[in-house]
Amino acid sequence: AQTVTQSQPEMSVQEAETVTLSCTYDTSENNYYLFWYKQPPSRQMILVIRQEAYKQQNATENRFSVNFQKAAKSFSLKISDSQLGDTAMYFCAFFEGGAQKLVFGQGTRLTINP
Amino acid sequence: DTGVSQNPRHKITKRGQNVTFRCDPISEHNRLYWYRQTLGQGPEFLTYFQNEAQLEKSRLLSDRFSAERPKGSFSTLEIQRTEQGDSAMYLCASSPPGTSGTYEQYFGPGTRLTVT
């Protein structure tokens, strides 16, 4: 079974700084999708960024970018110029095509301080 | 399009009672998922529908849990004889047909269940 591990339970940075959240996963599949989701306090889960495993180019969405290392099974999220609104739980997720489900990591609680 | 909606948002029930939650997916999405999330943890998959067919069920979905999607639109999740361990946030998500090639899932706000 696929597993997703986020080794940083909590992180805290100052506004405007850059922060990187780590994620590793385990799979025997070759084609898959990886996602980062954001869950603000008491609010719903929002998709931040998506990476297809067959694409070598790292995905970017405005201030959010990923470092996808397929051989190392690593998928980190970089947030540049962090803003107060980035404060949230961040979940790394692996899309398991066979069972058609997302497998989530334990999450990283990110706090952006003014 | 107002996104995925879930009702009720909060439910408090006594142990042993039955509860039912509803999820309305994004209109053109034929795939619907239920997840359970306990405090401080990531969501855990419960079940998956493609149109009206329930194609996957997690071992987490005991026989007290049942989900339906009768017309391939909204879905319900029922928990019978609730236990305190059922207290959690129940999340619904939907995604467009597989032909879109994206597999992104869009989540609703969740139903928070408290069993006393």
Nearest to A99 among B41, B56, B103 (CB): B56
User: Which residues of chain B make contact with A107, given a CB cutoff of 8 A?
Assistant: 40-42
Q: Indicate yes or no: CB of A47 within 8 angstroms of CB of B31.
A: no
Chain A's closest residue to B55, CA to CA, is: A99
Q: State which amino acid sits at residue A92.
A: C
pLDDT (tens digit per residue) in A58-112: 999 999 999 999 999 999 999 999 999 999 999 999 997 776 889 999 999 999 9
Minimal CA–CA distance to A88: which of A18, A16, A40, A49? A40
DSSP A100: T
CB < 8 Å from A in window 28-57 of B? 31, 33, 35, 40-45, 48, 50, 55-56
CB A86 within 8 A of CB A17: no
- Residue A57's Cβ-count burial label (10 Å; 0-12, 13-18, 19+) is exposed
List of chain B residues whose C-beta atoms are within 8 Å of the C-beta of residue A101: 33, 45, 48, 56, 58
Tokens of A42: 């008491």
Q: Give the separation between CA A108 and CA A6, rounded to whole angstroms.
A: 7
Rounded distance between C-alpha atoms, residue A105 and residue A9, angstroms: 10
Chain B CA closest to residue A50: B104
CA of A91, closest CA in chain B: separation in Å? 7
pLDDT digits (tens, 9 = 90+) for B18-49: 999 999 999 989 999 999 999 889 999 999 99
Residue A37 CB partners (closer than 8 Å, separation 6+):
A45, A46, A47, A48, A90, A91, A93, A104, B107
Give the number of other CB atoms < 10 A from CB of residue B50: 17
Task: Please list the rounded mean pLDDT of every run of 10 residues in chain B (116 residues).
Answer: 90 98 94 94 94 90 93 94 96 84 87 97
